[in-house]
């Protein structure tokens, strides 16, 4: 019966356009979520204070426009989290670096002329108006305490040694760090994937559930000061959306929908000073 149901859904998906359906569902469900985010977060992140589009995400990769609201949501939720955690006065007087920065979105939105750090020269070439440094975690060629805060968004899961990565961030900051990682139900270690289209550094190695990320943090002197789970999609509303969500249980990872994680976890790591 399950096999018959799976076959029927796959045939229906074909009739509705396959990849076109996925793109439409991704765009519509992420747009409705974004519209709700915009209404809720307008006080902290006014319109025009950020810019992140599917054509600039990751710097050297072009995604179709169905990803735009996913990426808008990424940007505005993380900015809201930073602003609510630190407050405008602290942001104004503090220095920032973004490790793994792909386009300068967050530093510019915070009004900072901070430092964008990335291992890819192609990505750095696409960033303008900011200080830029080519560097690869966990060895960034900068002195201890170079910045008040570091942003580490969708980067930790790419590192073969996440503990070393977090310790390097601890070394670089004077006050704390903001980290964003995919939300997963259970921790996974990915097999090495020799993808000829992309460098190995752009594939995931570890994906940590919240409980295990908290354990990883104990191997550093950071403490988790604050956290937030951020959803990417609104609930399904139309028949094609319900259809795809039903099918995704059979054809996608349980934590993924329309080729993207359903949610992300954002953390503020406080640099706990020993007495």
What's the rounded Cα separation, in Å, for the pair 212 and 186? 8
| CB of 170 closer than 8 Å to CB of 271 | yes
pLDDT at 117 over 80: yes
Sign of CA dihedral 27, 80, 49, 43: positive
Tell me the C-alpha distance between 210 and 202, whole Å: 22
Each residue's pLDDT tens digit, 187-206 = 998 887 665 555 555 678 89
Q: In the predicted model, what is the mean pLDDT of residues 36-63? A: 56
| Rounded distance between C-alpha atoms, residue 163 and residue 138, angstroms | 9
pLDDT band at 272 (very low <50, low <70, confident <90, very high): confident
How far from 257 is each of 54, 81, 220, 248, 262, CA to CA, in Å? 17, 24, 33, 7, 6
Instruction: Please tell me the distance from the alpha carbon of residue 192 to that of residue 269, in angstroms, as a whole number.
Output: 29
pLDDT at residue 24 is higher than 60: yes
> Per-residue pLDDT for 148 more than 90?
yes
Query: Which domains, ranges and CATH numbers included, belong to the chain?
Result: 2-271 (3.40.50.150)
What's the Rg (C-alpha) of the chain?
Answer: 19
pLDDT band at 140 (very low <50, low <70, confident <90, very high): very high
Q: What share of the chain is helix, strand, coil (3-state, %, to 5)?
A: 40, 20, 40
Tokens of 170: 């601890």
Res 202: pLDDT: 60
Mention every residue, 6+ apart, whose C-beta is less than 8 A from residue 87.
Answer: none
H-state helical runs in the chain: 2-15, 19-41, 68-86, 88-93, 105-109, 121-125, 162-172, 210-217, 239-251
Q: How confident is the model at residue 182 (pLDDT cuts 50, 70, 90)?
A: very high
- CB-side neighbour CA atoms (13 Å) of 43: 3
Judge whether residue 258 has pLDDT over 90: no
pTM of the predicted protein model: 0.85
Q: Which pLDDT score is estimated for 167?
A: 97
């Amino acid at each position: 019966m399950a096999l018959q149901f799976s076959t029927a859904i796959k045939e229906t998906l074909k009739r509705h356009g396959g990849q076109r359906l996925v793109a439409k569902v991704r765009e519509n469900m992420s747009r409705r979520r974004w519209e709700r985010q915009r209404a809720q977060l307008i006080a902290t992140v006014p319109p025009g204070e950020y810019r992140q589009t599917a054509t600039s995400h990751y710097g050297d990769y072009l995604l179709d426009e169905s990803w735009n609201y996913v990426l808008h949501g990424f940007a505005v939720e993380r900015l809201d989290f930073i602003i609510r955690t630190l407050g405008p006065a602290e942001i104004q007087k503090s220095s920032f670096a973004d490790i793994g920065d792909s386009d300068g979105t967050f530093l510019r939105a915070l009004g900072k002329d901070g430092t964008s750090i990335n291992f890819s020269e192609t990505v750095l070439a696409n960033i303008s108006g900011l200080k830029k440094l080519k560097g690869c975690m966990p060895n960034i060629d900068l002195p201890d305490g170079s910045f008040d805060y570091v942003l580490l968004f969708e980067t930790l899961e790419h590192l073969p040694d996440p503990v070393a990565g977090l310790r390097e961030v601890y070394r670089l900051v004077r006050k704390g760090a903001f980290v964003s990682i995919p939300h997963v139900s259970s921790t996974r270690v990915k097999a090495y994937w020799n993808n000829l289209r992309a460098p190995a550094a752009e594939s995931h190695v570890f994906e940590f559930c919240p409980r295990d990320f908290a354990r990883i943090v104990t191997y550093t002197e950071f403490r988790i000061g604050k956290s937030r789970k951020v959803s990417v999609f609104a609930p399904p509303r139309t028949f094609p959306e319900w259809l795809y969500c039903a099918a995704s249980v059979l054809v996608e990872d349980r934590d993924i929908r329309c080729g993207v994680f359903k949610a992300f976890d954002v953390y503020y790591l406080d640099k706990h000073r020993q007495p």
